[in-house]
Amino acid sequence: MKTCLYTLALVAALPVLAQPQKTVDPQQRLEWWTEARFGMFIHWGIYTVPAGEWNGQPVRGLGEWIMNRSKIPVRDYEKLATQFNPVKFNADEWVAVAKNAGMKYLTITSKHHDGFAMYGSKVSPYNIVDATPFHRDPMKDLAAACQRAGIKLCFYYSQTQDWHEPNGVGNTWDFKEPSPLEFEKYYNEKVIPQVRELLTNYGPIGLIWFDTPRNITQEQSQKLADLVHQLQPTCLVSGRVGHGLGDYDSAGDNQISMGAVKRPWETPVTLNDTWGFKKDDHNWKPAQVLVRQLATTSSRGGNYLLNVGPTSEGVIPPESVERLAEVGKWMKVNGEAIYGTSANPFPYDVPWGVITSKPGRLYLHVFRWPGKELVLYGLRSKVQQAKLLAGALVRFAQKEDELNGYTALTLSLPAQPLDPNDSVIALDIAGKVEVDPSLQQQPDLTVTMPPQLGDLHKSPGSQARPDSRGVMERWTRAQDWIEWSFKVNHPGAFDVELVTSQQKYGDGWDGGQRVSIEIASQKVSGLVADNGKEDNPSNPYWPYVISKMGQVKIDKAGTYSATLKPDDIPTGQKFGLTVVAVRLVPAK
C-alpha cells in the first residue's frame, strides 16, 4: 500500500519534471497548423470603448491604433479600462462562430500595442481582471470553450511596441524612445514574464502570434522563441517574432502570396478595414470574397487567418457572424478541398479559379463558371473519377499524345455553377499527380506571363523583385528586364497587354514608363497608361491596371520566348513598374 501511494505521488510529479526536456522538431509542430488552413483572428481590447472616435471626432486608420493616432496620453487612455465591461461576452458563442465557419484555431490579442493585458496578469495591474469593472479573465473561459470544441487556442502578443510603458517602443508623445538598455528592462520585466504566464495558465496553446518586431535584437527574438518552445514544445512561434526566427512566415496584412512560397505561411485578413472594432467601418467583404481568398490562399500553400473585432460589450458584430456562417456553409460541403491540402501543382494560375491538391487528388475551385465544358491543360496523370463536391459525378475525357502522354482534360459540366462563390470539382488521380510545369497558353486562348515565372535580368545593385503578392516592386531602372518561355497551343493574332497593380484600395500607381515587349520575335512598344482597370481575382483591394501595347501574330503552335524591357522609366517614381503579367489575349 505504501509503495503504491509513493508511486502515485511520483507519477503525479512526473509531468512537471518531464516538461522542459521534451523536444519537438519544427516540422512536427506545424502538422496541425498546415492541416487546419483556416483560423480566426480576434482583436479585442479597451480601444473598443472609443471604437474609432475620439473627442466626438472619427479617427482615421485602424481601431486598435487610436491611442497612437490621436496621441492619447497614457493617463487618459488608461481611463478607458474603467469603462470596459463586456457583460455580453460568451466564450462558447465566440468559439461556436469560429467552429461553424470551419475554422480550426483562434488567435486572440492577449496584449496589443496599447500594452493592456486582456487576461489576468500578475506581472502588471494594467489588465482586464484588475483594471476593469469586468474583474474576470475571458481567456480562462476561452481556453475551456476551445477545449470543449476541439479548437486550438492561440495568443497574439505585441512584444516590442507597448505604448503604456516608458521603456516599451512606440509611444513618442508621452515618452522618449527607450535606449537599448531601457528596452531590455521592459523586455525582461514585462514581455518574458507575461509570455510565461500565457504559456503556463491556459493549458495547451497552439501558437504565439508576435507582431511588429521593430528594433528587437536577434538575441531577444531568439530568447522569446526558445522560451515558447521550452514551456510548450509543440507551440508555434509566428514569423513576426523577428529576425526570421518564427516557425512560419506572415504575409503582409490582406496579402495573398503568389507562386511557390518556400516556407509555411499565413496571411492575416480583415473582414472590413480595421482589426479592432470601429463603429463607423461598414466596408464588409462579401462572403464570396472570403471563400475565394481562403481557397486562393490554400492553393498557394498558406493559412488564412480571418479577423473579427468584438465590441466592448463582448459581441462579435452580426455582419461578421453572417458572413462567417456563409463561409461555413461552403466549408461543410467543400472542406476537404481546403483542410490538409497542398498548393496548386502547376506553377501558374488557371484562368477560371484556383487548384488545391492532396496525394492522389486535385481540387478544381471554379470561380468563373465556363458553361458546359471546362478544359485543363498540362495534367499528365490519368484521371480515374471526377466529382462535384456539391453534387454528382462529372463525365470527362482525356486527350493523349505519343510524345507527352495526357495533355488535355475535358470535363462536361452543368450549364450553371452549383455554388456561385466556388464550385469544387474533385479529381481522383491514378498514382502521383504529375503536371507539365511549362507556362502555356490556356484553353481560353490567353497566355499570362507573371514575373515570378520569368527570368529576371537585373542590373547591378537593382532592388527589383516580385513582392509577396507576385507584383514587381522597386522596378525603377530601365536596365532591368524579364524573359519568359511559353507554349502556344492555338496560333492566331493576339493583343499584347501589360498588367500592372495599384496599391491597396487603389491608392498609388505610377504610369508613364515606356516599355517594349517582344513576343516570338515581334516587337511592340508603348506607354504604360491606364487603359482600364480590372479586378484582381484573388484580392479586390489591389486592383489591376491594364495597358494595351499592340498586336502580334503567331502562325504555328510551339514554344516561343517573350521579353519585357523598359525603354524609359521616369526618375523619382515611388512604385515604379508594378508588373503583374504580360498577357496575350486573342485579337477580336
Which residues here bind ligand JFZ, judged by CB under 6 A? 62, 64-65, 211-212, 252-253, 268, 275
- Closer residue to ligand JFZ (CB): 270 or 344: 270
d(CA 333, CA 310): 28
- Closer residue to ligand JFZ (CB): 250 or 312: 250
Whose CA is closest to 40, among 110, 85, 95, 90? 95
Beta bridge partners of 320: none
CB of 158 to ligand JFZ, least distance (A): 8
CB of 274 to ligand JFZ, least distance (A): 9
Q: Where are the alpha helices (DSSP H) in 286-401?
A: 287-299, 318-334
CB within 8 Å of 326: residues ≥ 6 apart: 287, 290, 291
d(CA 116, CA 113): 8
Burial class of residue 165, CB neighbours in 10 A (0-12, 13-18, 19+): buried
Measure the CA dihedral 161/164/167/169, to 10°.
20
Q: Is 16 helix (H, G, I), strand (E, B) or coil?
A: helix
Burial class of residue 157, CB neighbours in 10 A (0-12, 13-18, 19+): buried
- The label of the residue with cell 488567435 reads 107
CB of 584 to ligand JFZ, least distance (A): 33
- Closer residue to ligand JFZ (CB): 302 or 443: 302
Other C-beta atoms lying within 10 Å of the C-beta of residue 498:
25
- Closer residue to ligand JFZ (CB): 275 or 377: 275
Nearest-CB residue to ligand JFZ?
A: 252
- The label of the residue with cell 470596459 reads 84
CB of 479 to ligand JFZ, least distance (A): 29
Q: Is 288 helix (H, G, I), strand (E, B) or coil?
A: helix
Q: What are phi and psi of 54, to 5 degrees?
A: -135, 130
d(CA 522, CA 340): 45
d(CA 359, CA 324): 29
CB of 201 to ligand JFZ, least distance (A): 23
CB of 217 to ligand JFZ, least distance (A): 19
- Closer residue to ligand JFZ (CB): 268 or 454: 268
Whose CA is closest to 506, among 535, 476, 549? 535
**Contact in structure between 398 and 386 (CB atoms under 8 Å):** no
CB of 60 to ligand JFZ, least distance (A): 14
How many DSSP H helices and E strands does the chain contain? 14, 29
Residue 270: what residue type?
T
Beta bridge partners of 447: 584
User: Distance from CA of residue 332 to its chain's centroid?
Assistant: 21
Q: Is 157 helix (H, G, I), strand (E, B) or coil?
A: strand
- Closer residue to ligand JFZ (CB): 159 or 167: 159
DSSP 21-74: G----HHHHTHHHHHH-EEEEE--SGGGTTTTEETTEE--S-GGGHHHHTT--H
Other C-beta atoms lying within 10 Å of the C-beta of residue 28:
11
Find the radius of gyration of the CA atoms of the chain.
26
> What is the DSSP code (8-state) at residue 452?
G
